[in-house]
Structure 1
Amino acid sequence: MNIILLSLIVINVLVSYKAINDTYFFRKYEFHIGSIKSGEQLRIITSGFLHVDFQHLLFNMLTLYFFAPYVIYNLNVLYFLYIYFGSLIAGNLLTFYFHKNEYSYRAVGASGAVTGVIFSAILLEPNLYMYGFIPGYVFGFAYMLFSIYGMKAKRDNIGHVAHFGGAIGGYIITLSKIPQLITTEPVTVGALLIPIVVLFFLQKMNKL
């Protein structure tokens, strides 16, 4: 395993372990709209290293472990970090935008960053299949539509907005690095763009 990827996973595990066992620490660094508005913008990053429980942590780290190598192999470890942190920030900024008037809104987790890595991998690996039989672009398209549904329904505690924002981050950063994907993989690029357009159309029409 790449040493940078291993280090990132270890940091997530150690910080999350601390947070799970220390409520004060958890509350100090979680994503919290009121605190961010009061000037604690660092929470936009620190919250990405906290998880609510070990199941949440394990799922995110396993997903990162399986998809990060595609990004590192096709780009390099530096761009992998750009995508990871860029997607983390994009996910939380979109969350802030959608929940800016909810003073008590809270969230934690690396899901936005991990989702960005997944979507980067989908763009970079046209033959990538999810669960062994679902084409990456089909999975990405369906996942983003499901996230929009989750935002509208508001029936669970999943951070659908952060996931969607993370996906946008991974999408944009990857295409900025390899813009020729727009012509070499138009189906994948187009399939992932459609839900992004749909989201902001619905937002503009006040349908979310």
Structure 2
Amino acid sequence: MGNLHLVTIAIIAANVIISYKGFGDYNFFEKYKFQVGPIQRGEKLRMFSSGFLHADTQHLLFNMLTLYFFADVVIQLLSPFYFLVIYLGSLFLGSALSFYFHRNEYHYSAVGASGAVTGILYSAILLQPDMSLYMFFIPIPIPAYIFGIAYLLYTIYGMKSRIGNIGHDAHFGGAIGGFAITLILSPWLFQTNLLMIGLLALPIVLLFILKKMGKI
């Protein structure tokens, strides 16, 4: 990895500063976390502010490490400004999908940059699908597009089964954001990566089919 771009440093710094403020200040954490009831009452800022809060240091570290590994791909192949658009857009779409699925659960709450970071991850996969990913528990490199499809299928399963204390819907919304915004900003991908676009779109289509059928 080369030197981190200033925009990546700024986002990591914002996450660290705001998260640590939340760790030590219960009222601050409660005021800015994602929660359905207050958002329905008009506190729309929570849709964004919750993306800079984290449950604990491990949660923060995992998200920032993932961002660190994939930010440069998006910045170098698009631009720092487009990277920021994708990051914030994915954050919002992650919150929006969470709100949609939990709109009748007044007390449902969540925090974390996972939606935004997943959006950057999927943008990077779309821009450079032939890159390989190395997972801690798998000793061989995995093609990025295989990982992307498998991860979204697992996320659908997580949404359906509600496994773990994880905002699977925010991850999925972030992935949709990264996918859609990258294609809007980079229409040339339809000429160069059309097959990959179709493959990565399959889990997204599956989610909406399952939702329409009432399976999620």
2:210 to 195, 202, 208: 202
Matched, 1:21 2:24: yes
What is aligned with 1:110? 113
What is aligned with 2:164? 156
Cα distance in 2 for residues equivalent to 1:164 and 1:144: 7
**Alpha-carbon deviation of 1:91?**
0.3
Matched, 1:56 2:59: yes
- Indicate the SS of the match to 2:55: coil
Cα distance in 2 for residues equivalent to 1:2 and 1:137: 25
Root-mean-square deviation over aligned CA pairs: 0.8
Matched, 1:87 2:90: yes
- Indicate the SS of the match to 1:182: helix
Matched, 1:168 2:171: no
**Alpha-carbon deviation of 1:183?**
2.9
State whether residues 29 and 47 of structure 1, in contact with CA within 8 Å, keep that contact through their aligned partners in structure 2. yes
1:69 to 69, 72, 75: 72
What is aligned with 1:139? 147
- Indicate the SS of the match to 2:163: coil
**Alpha-carbon deviation of 1:104?**
0.4
Matched, 1:121 2:124: yes
What is aligned with 2:137? none
Q: Which residue identity does 2:208 align to in structure 1?
A: F
Runs of 4+ in 1 over 4 A off after TM superposition: none
For structure 1, which segment, 171-180 or 24-33, has the greater mean C-alpha deviation from structure 2 after superposition? 171-180
**Alpha-carbon deviation of 1:187?**
2.7
TM-score by length of 1: 0.98
**Alpha-carbon deviation of 1:127?**
2.0
| Cα displacement string for residues 37-71 of structure 1 (whole angstroms, at most 9, x for unaligned residues) | 00000000000000000000000001101100000
What is aligned with 2:186? 178
Structure 1 unaligned regions, length at least 5: none
Cα distance in 1 for residues equivalent to 2:69 and 2:163: 29
Cα distance in 2 for residues equivalent to 1:44 and 1:126: 30
State whether residues 33 and 104 of structure 1, in contact with CA within 8 Å, keep that contact through their aligned partners in structure 2. yes
Q: Which residue identity does 1:53 align to in structure 2?
A: D
Structure 2 unaligned regions, length at least 5: 135-139
Aligned residues: 208
State whether residues 120 and 174 of structure 1, in contact with CA within 8 Å, keep that contact through their aligned partners in structure 2. yes
Cα distance in 2 for residues equivalent to 1:133 and 1:69: 19
State whether residues 138 and 191 of structure 1, in contact with CA within 8 Å, keep that contact through their aligned partners in structure 2. no
**Alpha-carbon deviation of 1:128?**
1.1
**Alpha-carbon deviation of 1:130?**
1.2
Cα distance in 1 for residues equivalent to 2:66 and 2:28: 25
What is aligned with 1:33? 36
Q: Which residue identity does 2:109 align to in structure 1?
A: R
Cα distance in 2 for residues equivalent to 1:127 and 1:200: 27
Cα distance in 2 for residues equivalent to 1:62 and 1:186: 29
State whether residues 130 and 145 of structure 2, in contact with CA within 8 Å, keep that contact through their aligned partners in structure 1. no
- Indicate the SS of the match to 2:43: coil
